[in-house]
Amino acid sequence: MKNTPGWQAIEQWLAAKELKPFTFQEEAWEHYLQGHSGLVNAPTGFGKTFSLFLGVVIRWMNEEPAYRSKTHNGLQLLWVTPLRALAKDIGRAMEEALHELHIPWKVGIRSGDTTTAVREQQKKQMPEILIITPESIHILLSQKEYASRFAGLHTVVVDEWHELIGSKRGVMVELGLSRLRGLNKGLQTWGISATIGNLEEALDVLMGFGGQQKAIVRADVHKAIDVQCILPDEIEKYPWAGHLGIRLLPKALSVILESNTTLLFTNTRSQSEIWYQQILKACPELAGAIALHHGSIDAELRIWVEEALHTGTLKLVVCTSSLDLGVDFRPVDTVIQVGSPKGVARFLQRAGRSGHRPDAVSKIWFLPTHSLELVEAAALKDAMAANMIESRMPVILAYDVLLQYLMTLGVSDGFNADEIWNEVKGTFCFRDLMPDEWQWILSFLTTGGEALYSYDEFHKLHKVGDHYHCVSRQQAMRHRLHIGTIVSDAMLKVRFMTGGYVGVIEEYFISRLTAGDSFSLGGQNLEFVMIKDMTVLVRKSKSKKSIVPSWNGGRMPLSANLGKMLRRKFHEAMAGTAQEEEILILQPLFDLQQLLSHIPKEDELLMEQIETQDGYHLFVYPFEGRLVHEVMAALLAWRISQRHPITFSIAMNDYGFELLSDQPIPVDDTNAQEYFSLENLNIDLQSSVNSTEMARRKFRDIAVIAGLVFQGFPGKAKANRHLQSSASLLFNVFNDYDSQNILLRQAFNEAFFYQMEEARLRESMDRIYHNKIVITFPQRLTPFCFPIKVDSLREQLTSEKLEDRIKKMTLFTYE
Amino acid sequence: MSLEDTTFQFKGQHWRLSAGRAIYWEEENALIVADLHVGKSAHFRKAGIAVPANIVQEDLYRLQQLITKYHPKQILIVGDMFHSSANNEVQYFKIWRQQFPHITFELIEGNHDILESSVYDDLQINLHQVLSLRNFYFVHDAEDKPSVLEGHYLISGHIHPGIRMIGAGRQSLRLPCFYFGMEGAVLPAFSGFTGLYSLHPEPDSAVFVIAEKKIFRI
- Would you tell me which residues 117-156 of chain B have a C-beta closer than 8 angstroms to some C-beta of chain A? none
Indicate whether A540 pLDDT > 70: yes
Angle between helix A758-770 and A626-641 (nearest 10): 60
Indicate whether A500 pLDDT > 70: yes
What pLDDT does residue A753 have? 67
Overall average pLDDT of the B149-160 stretch: 92
What pLDDT does residue B19 have? 96
Q: Which of B175, B192, B200 sits opposite A814 (nearest CB)?
A: B200
Residue A519 host element (H or E): strand A518-521
What pLDDT does residue A682 have? 84
> Which of A86-90, B173-177, B185-189 is predicted with the least confidence, judged by mean pLDDT?
A86-90
Q: Considering just the CA atoms, what is the radius of gyration of chain A in Å?
A: 28
Indicate whether A215 pLDDT > 50: yes
- At A755, the pLDDT band (50, 70, 90 cuts) reads low
- Would you tell me which residues 22-61 of chain B have a C-beta closer than 8 angstroms to some C-beta of chain A? 40, 42-55, 58
Contact present, A365 and A253 (Cβ < 8 Å) = no
Q: Which of B45, B163, B166 sits opposite A458 (nearest CB)?
A: B45
Is some CB atom of chain B closer than 8 A to the CB atom of A446?
no
Overall average pLDDT of the A343-371 stretch: 84
- Higher pLDDT, residue A518 or A711: A518
Overall average pLDDT of the A28-48 stretch: 90
What pLDDT does residue A554 have? 43
| CATH architecture of the domain with range B5-141+151-217 | 4-Layer Sandwich (3.60)
Indicate whether A712 pLDDT > 80: no
Give tens-digit pLDDT for A221-245: 777 888 999 999 888 788 888 778 8
What pLDDT does residue A294 have? 84
Give tens-digit pLDDT for A719-742: 466 777 788 889 989 988 888 899
Task: Show residues of chain A in contact with B176, CB under 8 Å.
Answer: none
Overall average pLDDT of the B182-210 stretch: 93
The CA distances from residue A106 to A78, A126, A277, B8, B37, in Å, are 12, 9, 45, 77, 55
Distance from CA of A457 to the nearest CA of B (A): 5
Indicate whether A756 pLDDT > 70: no
Task: With CA atoms as reference, report the closest residue to A625 among A556, A710, A713, A579.
Answer: A556
- At A553, the pLDDT band (50, 70, 90 cuts) reads very low
Is some CB atom of chain A closer than 8 A to the CB atom of B111?
no
What pLDDT does residue A551 have? 46
Please tell me what DSSP assigns to residue A282. Answer: H
Overall average pLDDT of the A458-469 stretch: 90
- Higher pLDDT, residue A215 or A342: A215
Is some CB atom of chain B closer than 8 A to the CB atom of A734?
yes
Indicate whether A550 pLDDT > 90: no
Distance from CA of A546 to the nearest CA of B (A): 25
Q: Torsion angle, CA of A29/A34/A35/A36, rounded to 10 degrees?
A: -70
Please tell me what DSSP assigns to residue A187. Answer: -
- Amino acid in position A91: G
In A, minimum Cα distance to B37 occurs at: A722
For an interface test with A, the pick among B38, B51, B60, B172 (most A C-beta atoms closer than 10 Å) comes out as B51
Helix intervals (H) in A17-63:
23-33, 48-63
In A, minimum Cα distance to B91 occurs at: A455
Contact present, A623 and A567 (Cβ < 8 Å) = yes
What pLDDT does residue A486 have? 75
Indicate whether A664 pLDDT > 70: yes
Indicate whether A760 pLDDT > 80: no
Give tens-digit pLDDT for A602-628: 788 999 999 999 999 999 998 887 778
Phi first, then psi, for residue B181 (nearest 5°) are -95, -170
B37: left (phi over 0), alpha (psi -120 to 50) or beta: left
Q: Considering just the CA atoms, what is the radius of gyration of chain B in Å?
A: 17
Beta-carbon separation of B88 and A456 below 8 A: yes
Q: Measure the N-to-C terminal CA separation of chain A; round to a whole number of Å.
A: 77
A666: left (phi over 0), alpha (psi -120 to 50) or beta: beta
Contact present, A634 and A797 (Cβ < 8 Å) = yes
Indicate whether A522 pLDDT > 80: no
Indicate whether A54 pLDDT > 70: yes
d(CA A744, CA A731): 8
Indicate whether A579 pLDDT > 90: no
Contact present, A107 and A127 (Cβ < 8 Å) = yes
Task: Show residues of chain B in contact with A734, CB under 8 Å.
Answer: 51-52
Beta-carbon separation of A803 and B216 below 8 A: yes
Task: Show residues of chain A in contact with B218, CB under 8 Å.
Answer: 806, 809-811
Contact present, A808 and A662 (Cβ < 8 Å) = yes
Task: Show residues of chain A in contact with B168, CB under 8 Å.
Answer: 614-615, 662, 808
Mean pLDDT, rounded, of chain B: 93
Q: Which of A445, A472, A649 sits opposite B169 (nearest CB)?
A: A649
Distance from CA of B77 to the nearest CA of A (A): 19
What pLDDT does residue A767 have? 87
In this structure, the strands spanning B171-180 and B161-167 are antiparallel
Task: Show residues of chain A in contact with B91, CB under 8 Å.
Answer: 455
What pLDDT does residue B28 have? 96
In this structure, the strands spanning A501-506 and B214-217 are unpaired
Give tens-digit pLDDT for A425-438: 999 999 999 999 99
d(CA A1, CA A54): 14
Is some CB atom of chain A closer than 8 A to the CB atom of B212?
yes
Task: Show residues of chain A in contact with B193, CB under 8 Å.
Answer: 725, 729, 733
- CA angle A713/A715/A717 to nearest 5° reads 65
Task: With CA atoms as reference, report the closest residue to A372 among A258, A265, A241, A183.
Answer: A241
What pLDDT does residue B14 have? 97
What pLDDT does residue A241 have? 80
What pLDDT does residue A191 have? 97
Beta-carbon separation of A457 and B45 below 8 A: yes
Is residue A82 exposed (0-12), middle (13-18) or buried (19+ Cβ within 10 Å)? buried
- At A186, the pLDDT band (50, 70, 90 cuts) reads very high
In A, minimum Cα distance to B59 occurs at: A737
Mean pLDDT, rounded, of chain A: 87
Task: Show residues of chain B in contact with A453, CB under 8 Å.
Answer: 53
- What share of chain A has pLDDT > 70, as a percent? 93
Beta-carbon separation of B201 and A454 below 8 A: no
Is some CB atom of chain B closer than 8 A to the CB atom of A469?
no
In B, minimum Cα distance to A407 occurs at: B48
Beta-carbon separation of B48 and A737 below 8 A: no
Give tens-digit pLDDT for A94-148: 999 999 999 999 999 998 878 889 999 998 899 999 999 999 999 999 999 999 9
